């Protein structure tokens, strides 16, 4: 679960990580009021679940409250698409109003999991700011890492060693070192998958402050943090993904293809997507109905997949274990009949009661092809799309 910048900054501030003074606003008037209380230059920042706002017009500097109001007016109620948002438009319902800082240098600091090393990793670079992706690609030696033993936490000597390589003033290094320890404590205690501060700014008066903050919490441990769960902002989610979530279905929107995929199990999902690629096309989404879905849930799954405008054909690939194939077939037929937009389907249903399912689908006389296996499904998809 991702947090907004203002929520993440609240957490940072609770843990004594220095941040500029700021408050969140939902209207232009509120923004003006905050800006008046700051009494100086302010930065207005769109609160959306995507990075790269700076380059997309989601960060504006205002010299006075009137300008701040105008900036908020221009942003609130619109949506933002950034190079990080994968084609999605995120609605701007709130802006964060922050006192502007005079920056002398922008660093990058993050704590995340290193899945190769199987431990947390602290990532630090002196080349922070909006082009960090380019730095990582072109000059990876400028990105430094400390792997952390989770039983011990970041060893102070390792942090000192790393900072000594950066040629920073003692005064600055000490502040960064303290921030690293605090961030790690947050990372650990809140079960984060990522804390990213970019930029971690060194100001003209030699203070180190978090100018931006991104925190993502591991979904599987949200139950341990009910107060964090309350911070969930459903407006930032793809609405079909949200609908799936409320039906206990895992739905992922993808941004290339035209094949909707209904599957059960993650492994089968991957194989199914490989097959769609083999058919010379690509998945538009996939939905995992789980191992024991009911007829109603299959119908709901159909509706969610079919409501994606990119979908031109649906590939169903379910293994009938606890979920019986005939039950799945009935759900599919109901979905097809009851949804306002019937979409041609290719169906692979193997396992318990597969032959009953085949009979049901063939007798339905709908544009649903029952096929025996995935390779045949690939050929059938190609045929149907070619028509
Ligand atoms: P992102 O593009 O979504 O990562 O948004 P950021 O919060 O990182 O802001 C983008 C850029 O705006 C930063 O890298 C800074 O260069 C600039 N910026 C943000 N806040 C301030 C500020 O208070 N003062 C100044 N001078 N620049 C700022
Ligand atoms: Mn940033």
The length of the chain is: 387
DSSP states of 264-302: SSHHHHHHHHHHHHHTTS-EEEEEE--TT--HHHHHHHH
Distance 104 CA to ligand 1 centre (A): 13
Q: If residue 238 lies in a helix (H) or strand (E), which one and from where to where?
A: none
| Structural domains in the chain, sorted by start | 1-20+102-236 (3.30.470.20), 21-100 (3.30.1490.20), 237-384 (3.40.50.261)
User: Strand, coil or helix: what is 254?
Assistant: coil
Whether residue 379 contacts residue 279, with contact meaning beta carbons closer than 8 Å, is answered with: yes
CA pair distance 22, 20, nearest whole angstrom: 6
Structure tokens given for 61:
């500097």
How confident is the model over 67-77, as a mean pLDDT?
Answer: 97
Separation of first and last alpha carbons in the chain: 42
Between 203-212, 239-248, 294-303, 370-379, the lowest mean confidence (pLDDT) is in: 239-248
Question: 56-67, pLDDT tens digit by residue?
Answer: 999 999 999 999
* Residue 61 backbone phi and psi in degrees, to 5: -100, 135
Binding pocket residue ranges, ligand 1, CB within 6 Å: 43, 45, 51-54, 59, 100-101, 103, 106, 129-130, 198-199, 211-212
Question: 141-198, pLDDT tens digit by residue?
Answer: 999 999 999 999 999 999 999 999 988 999 999 999 999 999 999 999 999 999 999 9
How confident is the model over 97-111, as a mean pLDDT?
Answer: 97
DSSP single-letter state for residue 89 = P
How confident is the model over 301-330, as a mean pLDDT?
Answer: 93
Q: Where does the pLDDT of residue 387 fall: very low under 50, low under 70, confident under 90, or very high at 90 and above?
A: low
Whether residue 287 contacts residue 251, with contact meaning beta carbons closer than 8 Å, is answered with: yes
Rg for the chain, CA atoms, rounded? 25
Is there a catalytic annotation at residue 295? Answer: no
Catalytic residue among 96, 108, 251, 302: 108
CA pair distance 42, 184, nearest whole angstrom: 29
CA pair distance 132, 123, nearest whole angstrom: 12
Is there a catalytic annotation at residue 106? Answer: no
- The protein residue with its alpha carbon nearest to ligand 1, atom 17, reads 54
Structure tokens given for 375:
């390779």
CA pair distance 196, 194, nearest whole angstrom: 6
């Amino acid at each position: 679960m991702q947090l907004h910048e203002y929520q993440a900054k609240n957490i940072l501030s609770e843990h004594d990580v220095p941040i500029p003074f700021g408050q969140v606003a939902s209207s232009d008037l509120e923004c003006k009021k905050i800006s008046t209380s700051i009494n100086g230059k302010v930065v207005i920042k769109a609160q959306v679940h995507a990075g790269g706002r700076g380059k997309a017009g989601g960060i504006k500097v205002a010299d006075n409250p009137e300008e701040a109001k105008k900036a908020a007016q221009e942003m609130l109620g619109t949506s933002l698409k950034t190079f990080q948002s994968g084609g999605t438009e995120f609605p701007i319902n709130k802006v964060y109003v922050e006192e502007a800082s005079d920056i002398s240098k922008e660093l990058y600091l993050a704590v995340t999991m290193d899945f190769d090393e199987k431990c947390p990793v602290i990532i630090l670079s002196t080349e922070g700011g909006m082009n960090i992706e380019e730095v990582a690609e072109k000059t990876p030696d400028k990105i430094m890492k400390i792997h952390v033993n989770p039983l011990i936490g970041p060893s102070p000597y390792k942090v000192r060693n790393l900072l000594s390589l950066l040629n920073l003033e003692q005064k600055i290094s000490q502040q960064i070192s303290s921030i690293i320890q605090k961030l790690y404590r947050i990372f650990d205690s809140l079960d984060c998958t990522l804390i990213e501060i970019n930029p971690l700014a060194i100001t003209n008066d030699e203070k180190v402050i978090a100018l931006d903050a991104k925190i993502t919490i591991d979904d599987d441990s949200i139950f341990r943090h009910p107060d964090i769960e309350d911070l969930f902002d459903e407006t930032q989610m793809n609405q079909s993904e949200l609908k799936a979530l409320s039906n206990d279905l895992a739905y992922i929107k993808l941004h290339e293809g035209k094949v909707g995929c209904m599957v059960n199990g993650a492994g089968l999902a991957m194989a199914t997507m490989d097959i769609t690629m083999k058919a010379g096309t690509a998945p538009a989404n996939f939905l995992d109905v789980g191992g024991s879905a009911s007829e109603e849930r299959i119908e709901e799954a159909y509706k969610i997949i079919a409501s994606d405008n990119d979908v031109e054909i649906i590939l169903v690939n379910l293994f009938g274990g606890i979920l019986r194939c005939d039950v799945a077939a009935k759900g599919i037929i109901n979905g097809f009949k009851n949804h306002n937009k019937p979409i041609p389907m290719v169906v692979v249903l193997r396992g318990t009661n597969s032959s009953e399912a085949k009979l049901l689908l063939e007798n339905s006389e709908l544009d649903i092809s029952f096929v025996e296996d995935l390779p045949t499904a690939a050929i059938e998809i190609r045929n149907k799309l070619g028509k």
